[in-house]
């Protein structure tokens, strides 16, 4: 094979390879950016404890993208009573270079009523942006994902007023009994 044919064959191979591989090797087209801490600590009390992750989603491309946020605890976590995504179905469309502004990316309610749960514990959260076809509403592949976590701790219950009053009266009674010979 002459040198000219080899060079032509090699150039055609590069062009075909670049055309096939380059769409597969691209950076995330959306960024999920937290303005709150992505690793939070929550103390579970006598009611549901709410943890909110705030931030924004940025379109890093030159074309509009329609997406929704989805996700939740991974793996399944019994500490979580509910998980609410910040951008649900049917999603939103961000133009080229646009961002959502600061929103609640995810709201997690931690349960308090399961006595079998041991504290402290860790809840790992995965937040995905998935594509939505604006014409049909069908959801597609994951565009990007972002991880967060919650360290769950149990609150130390405060003693009741009746218990505190009873303890104070007991101490007062014992103090008076220790000095029986003294008179007021």
- Domain ranges, residue 102: 27-178
Cα–Cα distance measured from residue 94 to residue 32, given in angstroms and rounded to the nearest whole number: 13
**Greater model confidence, 159 or 148:** 148
Least confident of 6-10, 54-58, 75-79, 130-134: 6-10
Per-residue pLDDT averaged across 78-85, rounded?
89
Are 125 and 72 spatial neighbours (Cβ–Cβ below 8 Å)?
yes
In this prediction the pTM is 0.67
Task: Flag whether 16 is in a domain.
Answer: no
Given this model, what pLDDT does residue 130 score? 92
50 Cβ neighbours under 8 A, 6+ residues apart: 107, 108, 109, 110
Domains: count for the chain: 1
What are the distances in angstroms from CA 9 to CA 1, 4, 6, 17? 10, 9, 5, 12
Are 67 and 130 spatial neighbours (Cβ–Cβ below 8 Å)?
yes
**Greater model confidence, 57 or 76:** 57
Q: What is the CATH number of the domain that holds 105?
A: 2.60.40.2310
């Amino acid at each position: 094979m002459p040198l000219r044919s080899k060079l032509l064959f090699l150039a055609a191979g590069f062009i075909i390879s670049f055309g096939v591989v380059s769409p597969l090797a691209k950076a995330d087209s959306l960024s999920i950016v937290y303005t709150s801490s992505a690793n939070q600590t929550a103390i579970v009390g006598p009611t549901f404890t709410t943890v909110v992750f705030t931030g924004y989603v940025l379109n890093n491309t030159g074309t509009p993208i329609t997406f929704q946020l989805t996700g939740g605890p991974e793996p399944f976590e019994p500490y979580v009573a509910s998980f609410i995504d910040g951008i649900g179905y049917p999603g939103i469309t961000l133009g080229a270079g646009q961002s959502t502004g600061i929103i609640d990316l995810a709201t997690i309610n931690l349960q308090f009523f399961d006595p079998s749960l041991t504290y402290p514990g860790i809840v790992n959260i995965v937040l995905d942006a998935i594509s939505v076809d604006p014409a049909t509403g069908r959801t597609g592949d994951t565009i990007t994902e972002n991880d967060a976590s919650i360290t769950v701790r149990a609150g130390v219950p405060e003693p009741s007023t009746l218990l505190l009053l009873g303890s104070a009266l007991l101490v007062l009674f014992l103090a008076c009994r220790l000095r029986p010979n003294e008179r007021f």
